[in-house]
Amino acid sequence: MEFYRLSAIEIAARVRAGKLSASQILAAHIERIEALDNIFNCFTARTFERARAEAALVDAKVQAGQEPGPLAGVPFAVKNLFDIEGLATVAGSKIRRAAPPAKMDAPHIVRLNEAGAVLLGALNMDEFAYGFVTENAHDGPVRNPHDPARICGGSSGGSVGALAAGFCALSLGSDTNGSIRLPAGLAGVYGLKPTYGRVTREGTFPFVDSFDHIGPFARSVADLALAYDVLQDEDRASPALGQEIDPTRVAMLDGWFRHGASAEMLEAVRSVAEGLGGTASATLPEAERARAAAFCITAFEGGQLHKPDLIARPWDYDHATVPRLIAGALQPAEVVYQAQRLRAWFRARALELLERYDLLLAPATPITAPLIGQPSFDLAGEEVPLRANIGLYTQPISFIGLPVVCVPVASAGLPRGVQIIAAPGREALALAAAARLEEKGVLAAKVVP
């Protein structure tokens, strides 16, 4: 049996019923990781001995007739900026490899373990989460399982690569400017960026405190909703997956969110809109300026956080990271002040739009997965740097903390992701829309054979 194709909910149901053991599930996933991760390069640390102990505990509970949890036996892994007891939290860097090991797990790992899930290890990422490609200078690139010559995106590249490769059934990542949505779109899996602050950031290495988010990845909407439920307490999404979606309150974002998008990405957005019955278009004004402001705040806060190491050991940073952090640290305060003013104004405009519409739709990326090492791409007839511009549709949204479900649109070619954007606290509605689309066959997560 190809256990790696089972959803998290299917795994848990079979383990809870005694039809499969958590140890069997784990062994199959370990075998797959050991056979294929030398190709895809998703893991930077493996916690297999710990996982065997966790799986044995789940099996013992099942055999004793005890409750093993809603994620019984489900293998998961986390971006390597999450604290894992006994491991240094490297956050994709060389500098932190000598850091003391974490004394305890991040709360997210604790919650998933308590729900019966089994931790496989830590996953590759862009250094300090500052990037969209996961071509890490220290750990190497994550290769897209759908075409190993291509990127998985970033900064949570290992998190989506591990899911698409069948190495785990759930994974965790972070999103500052698009680092959940962009890689989910390029790798053909589901990703949830919750409302800012809805899921704790405790136990994770920061990047930009103003808009860092923590969220899950999965290969089905039900799995994504269940993982979200386990991670937080405020808004139980799973029971709401069947709620109705009003098609008159669904709109495709135009203007900036269509600028330069390839025909296949625009078609993906139309497919999602049609699946929900929506025909309207809407404008989120000044999105381009909002993106510029997000750049300024990102560079400034990141630069200030890293200033001591930038002074003492700049040569130990990824060559793609260090110039941006140095430039950010040197920004005048006036620039950041004006960026924050625009942020408040832009958030108010977005909330006004979300009074008229329940859900807004936009591409996750302007193009499908680029090649590893590709320096640029065509954006509306202009050749632009890839690293700086592939997140142009995600940055304005995380900038103001809105919840987004990134969904994989069914296609024969490379994966195409679409953002389903909702008002703060309305994750359940975005997930319900995704569930409806999945049921209709508009969406389909991809896993390699």
Active-site residue identified among 179, 210, 271, 398: 179
Distance of alpha carbon 28 from alpha carbon 5, whole angstroms: 11
**Taking Cα atoms as reference points, which of 422, 26, 108, 80 lies closest to residue 237?**
422
Q: With helix as H, strand as E and coil as C, how does 346-396 read?
A: HHHHHHHHHHHCCEEEEECCCCCCCECCCCEEEECCEEEEHHHHCCCCCHH
248-269 as b/e, with b when 16 or more CB fall inside 10 Å? eebbbbeebbbebbbeebbebb
CA distance 124 to 157: 7
**What distance in Å separates the CA atoms of residue 129 and residue 179, rounded to the nearest whole number?**
8
User: d(Cα 54, Cα 72) in Å, to the nearest integer?
Assistant: 10
Do 396 and 290 touch, CB atoms closer than 8 A? yes
Candidate list 79, 93, 220, 398, residue with the active-site label: 79
Pairwise CA distance, residues 18 & 20, whole Å: 5
Q: What is the distance between the alpha carbons of residues 204 and 219, in angstroms, rounded to a whole number?
A: 24
> 154 with 105: CB under 8 angstroms?
no
Cα dihedral across residues 41, 43, 44, 47: positive or negative: negative
Tokens of 3: 């256990």
What would the two tokens of residue 361 be? 């739709």
Q: Alpha-carbon distance 155 to 204, whole Å?
A: 14
CB distance 211 to 404 below 8 Å: no
Active site residue 155: yes
Closest CA relative to residue 81, chosen from 174, 164, 158: 174
Is 307 catalytic? The answer is no
Report how far apart, in Å, the C-alpha atoms of 48 and of each of 18, 31, 251, 304, 323 are: 22, 11, 45, 37, 37
79 is catalytic: yes
- DSSP for 218-263 reads ESSHHHHHHHHHHH-SS---GGGTT----GGGEEEE-GGGTTT--H
The total of other beta-carbon atoms located within 10 Å of residue 423's CB is: 20
Single out the catalytic residue among 7, 23, 155, 238. Answer: 155
Radius of gyration over every alpha carbon of the chain, rounded to an integer in angstroms: 20
**Strand bridging mode 280-282 / 250-253:** parallel
Residues designated as active site = 79, 155, 179
